Amino acid sequence: MAPRANWKGFLRLSLVTCPVALYPATSESEKISFNQLNRQTGHRIKYLKVDADTGDEVPNEDIVKGYQLEKDQFIEVTKEELEEIALESTRTIEIDEFVDKAEIDPRYLIRPYYIRPDGKVGHDAFAVIRETIREMNKVAIGRVVLTNREHIIALEPMDKGLVGTLLRYPYEVRSEQEYFNDIQDVKVTKDMLDLARHIVNQKAGSFEPEKFEDHYESALIELINQKRAGKPIVPKDRPKGENVVDLMDALRKSVGGAAKTEAPKKPAKKTKKAAAAQKEMLMPIAGKKPAKEAAAKKPTAGARRKSA
């Protein structure tokens, strides 16, 4: 089932307007998540919203937003007051300008969304806006309100739709100087660069996301499968880093090592292996009781249940 739209409104370029819907382009729902349990009973932990002073539980209808001026002093802001300051971008993505993609600092990128026409009308206006952006080879910059906050959004054509990437404001990006100022100025020799370039050339390739495997996720699946099967958990040896004494010698050895370990990449098999492991985790363990019967006897942590 297709995900529900995060936002619905209008996309506007000057006087050209069309209704659009915005959908999340990424998902982490397939990742394993854990619940918090009471070790003594095996029951899930439940969190309550309580008054910090009285300790009494507070119902949702009595909870309001407040801005802290100083300790124990707040200004209460109601939902109605927040709605009164709603901006035009609450319902409309207004394209303000067009920029080169290379000008957007990657530190400003937050997350991508898919944008498509909403309903059966407006497809022609949507196509005009999309193809104009494509033809100009630019990124359209606009504004949109999500989760009660106005965001900058960068729009790019993708196939028959648009990809909108939320951008951070300058005050949200930390300066690199506080981290980089203490880095020592080191002179890198031509020989070192030549060896390093050789390593890069040996490892050169194309970006293919399918060939990457989430090794930690695979290890979690293996761990859960072993525990379900009642097998002992044996800690694996951790790789130990070595201090580099002679940098030139390390570069020379790396050149030789890269040549020896280079092998044809088979992304499809890795992907199938990971998918098979995911499917295997959902299968009942041989000799064990059916899932419903086991669950009725004692609550356990489901490998794919959401966190509490």
The pTM assigned to this predicted structure is 0.72
Query: Looking at residue 180, what is its pLDDT?
Result: 93
Q: What is the mean predicted confidence (pLDDT) over 206-227?
A: 88
Higher local confidence (pLDDT), 2 or 97: 97
Query: What is the chain's mean pLDDT, rounded?
Result: 82
Residue type, 198: H
Query: Poorest-confidence range of 7-21, 160-174, 245-259?
Result: 245-259
Task: Say whether pLDDT at 219 is over 50.
Answer: yes
What is the reported pLDDT for 174?
95
Query: Rounded to an integer, what distance in angstroms lies between the CA atom of residue 111 and that of residue 116?
Result: 17
Which of 3, 20, 30, 28 minimizes the C-alpha distance to 164?
20
Is the pLDDT higher at 210 or at 284?
A: 210
- Write out the E strands in the chain: 7-13, 16-24, 65-70, 73-77, 92-99, 109-117, 139-146, 149-158, 161-167
